[in-house]
Amino acid sequence: MNETVAAHATRFVEAVGYPFTSAGRTLATVGFAAVTYALLILSSFPTYSMQMLAAGPGYLDDAVVALTANTYASVGTLALALTVVYAVVTGIAITTAIGRIRHAGEVSARGLSSVLPGLLASGCASCGAGLLGTLGFVGALSTLPFDGNLLRLAGLLLLVAYLSRLGDPRYCAMPSATGGE
Amino acid sequence: MAGPDSSTTRRAMLAGMGTVVAGGGIVYGASRLEGDSADGSASNESNESNGAQLHSSTATTGFGIDLGGHPILGAMDAPVDVYYWSDYQCPFCRRFEQNTFPQLVENHVRPGTVRYVFIQYPYLSESSTTAAIMDRCVWRQVRDADPGRYLDWHSAIFDAQGTKGSGWASRENLLEITAGVEGVDADAVGTCMDEHGTEIEAEIDADVQQARQFGIRGSPAFVLYNREADRAGKLVGAQPYDRFDSAIDRVKDA
């Protein structure tokens, strides 16, 4: 059991370290993280974001700044921090997954679906919007435990689990004695 | 869902018909609904006909908004109605109030182009409903003698906005804020809430249901309506002033 945990921890560290093994990978990771953050934040009020972006790409920064301020005001520092961490870990996961494709020619893209809980939880609890609101569940996020922070945390854990299975994509993972991958 | 850069009718909005690309001109056929009365014919308006004055009315607009109980800011013959749904606990509404609303009043309400209709859309918690009921009680109290006091109270509440669940929007705290607004009798407001709270809450619930029929899923939300042309557009969220500016021009010219 302990060996399994240790193997997962090792692979997780390797996976997290991979995007920083070259300048290109680092830049790509930062880019993926920035795009993910923008998507998470913009999805906190989809109808607003769509109207702003439809009016012109010049409104993108206005929308991201306004919704960041709104997320902070409505769900607080912890939720905003979780969103940032979520975006960064997603950036790492995407870069690592691409590395896996390039080096091994296959990837379990299923793990990237871990980003979905974060999207669902990204609605601002105090404006009742977000994807849940758009789907008709107005104010739903207000009723979720800790204004959706548990959902954000669950999504984050799924991403961590994905990375701990992936490891460094340049090397094949060695099965551990207790059944690692 | 209507975009800001286009216009559509109430029926189209109710049906969830989307519009159009930015700058597009798709306009659906006229659809004044049965039972809607022509707006502005009624009632209890203040003597001012221009400028940023507050008015009350019992008319129902061609878009289907019953103006009864809602403060109306601006000239009653302004060509464009802006229906404004908000929740006192919503930080995005506060952002609109502080960053955009003053410019809109100065550049569109005061010159007589737009009249704003304030509609409560409480949905975040019980405290939102408490604040909404208090809003209606304050308006009932001041609308005849000194309607301008409503905006003082409205601004004071948004200025005092705290974190949801912090208790800032409790009845006691809101009444305390009310007591600090000159020209508003907090005790009378409390009495109104006790005596008419249930009836007012039913009216607010009807407003919320109507807003949801219009596809409103968050706040602040706005429908811009050209009464004469029977054309409307929707804006959602605390968008920058220039977005409102262009949307108002587009609806006015529809």
CB B116 within 8 A of CB B147: no
Cross-chain Cβ contact B217/A74 below 8 Å: no
Angle, vertex CA B2, rays to CA B103 and CA B216, nearest 5:
80
Distance separating alpha carbons of residues A167 and A169, to the nearest angstrom: 6
The whole-number pLDDT of residue B41 equals 36
Residue type, A165: R
What are the CA-CA distances from residue A128 to residues A103, B34, B125, B162, B218 (Å)?
A: 44, 32, 11, 17, 5
Task: Compute the average pLDDT of residues A123-137.
Answer: 47
Chain B positions touching A127 (Cβ under 8 A) are 90-92, 218-219, 237
Is residue B5 included in any domain, yes or no? no
Per-residue model confidence as pLDDT tens digits over B59-95? 999 999 999 999 999 999 999 999 999 999 999 999 9
Task: Compute the average pLDDT of residues B158-165.
Answer: 88
Is residue B2 included in any domain, yes or no? no
The whole-number pLDDT of residue B221 equals 95
DSSP B60: B
Per-residue model confidence as pLDDT tens digits over A48-65? 999 999 999 999 999 999
Cross-chain Cβ contact B240/A59 below 8 Å: yes
Count of structural domains within chain A: 1
Chain B positions touching A53 (Cβ under 8 A) are none
Sequence-distant (6+) residues with CB within 8 A of A36 are A86, A87, A90, A91, A94, A115
The proportion of chain B whose per-residue pLDDT surpasses 90, expressed as a percent, equals 73
Residue with tokens 């059991």: A1
The whole-number pLDDT of residue B156 equals 96
The whole-number pLDDT of residue A148 equals 65
The proportion of chain A whose per-residue pLDDT surpasses 90, expressed as a percent, equals 20
- pLDDT tops 60 at residue B190: yes
CB B220 within 8 A of CB B85: yes
Strands B80-86 and B72-73: unpaired
B74 in contact with A at a CB cutoff of 8 Å?
Answer: no
CB B81 within 8 A of CB B115: yes
DSSP assignment of A25-90: HHHHHHHHHHHHHHHHHHTTSHHHHHHHHHH-GGGHHHHHHHHHHHHHHHHHHHHHHHHHHHHHHH
A156 in contact with B at a CB cutoff of 8 Å?
Answer: no
Is residue B204 included in any domain, yes or no? yes
For residue B250 the two structure tokens come to: 């587009």
Please give the mean pLDDT across all residues of chain A. Answer: 75
Cross-chain Cβ contact A66/B3 below 8 Å: no
- pLDDT tops 90 at residue B6: no
Please give the residue that has the higher pLDDT: either A1 or A19: A19
Task: List the domain range (segments joined by +) for residue A33.
Answer: 2-166
Angle, vertex CA A46, rays to CA A45 and CA A49, nearest 5:
90
The whole-number pLDDT of residue B164 equals 74
Res. B38 pLDDT band, cuts 50 70 90 = very low
Is residue A180 included in any domain, yes or no? no
Question: Testing the interface with A: which of B92, B127, B224 to mutate, by most A Cβ within 10 A?
Answer: B92
Closest to A92 in 3D by CA, of A4, A16, A8: A16
Is residue A171 included in any domain, yes or no? no
Distance separating alpha carbons of residues A143 and A125, to the nearest angstrom: 8
The whole-number pLDDT of residue B138 equals 97
Is residue A100 included in any domain, yes or no? yes
Is residue B53 included in any domain, yes or no? yes
Highest mean pLDDT among A91-100, A166-175, B180-189: B180-189
Is residue B3 included in any domain, yes or no? no
The whole-number pLDDT of residue A27 equals 95
CB A119 within 8 A of CB A36: no
Is residue A178 included in any domain, yes or no? no
Which of A174-178, B110-114, B216-220 is predicted least confidently? A174-178
CATH of the domain at B246: 3.40.30.10
Question: Quick one: closest CA in A to B240, which residue?
Answer: A62
Helices (H), B1-100: 10-14, 91-99
CB B20 within 8 A of CB B1: no
Task: List the domain range (segments joined by +) for residue B145.
Answer: 10-252
Res. B249 pLDDT band, cuts 50 70 90 = very high
Grouping H, G, I as helix, E, B as strand and the rest as coil, residue B149 is helix
Count of structural domains within chain B: 1
Per-residue model confidence as pLDDT tens digits over B192-214? 999 999 999 999 999 999 999 99
Per-residue model confidence as pLDDT tens digits over A147-167? 667 767 777 777 787 777 777
Is residue A140 included in any domain, yes or no? yes
- pLDDT tops 50 at residue B149: yes
Please give the mean pLDDT across all residues of chain B. Answer: 83
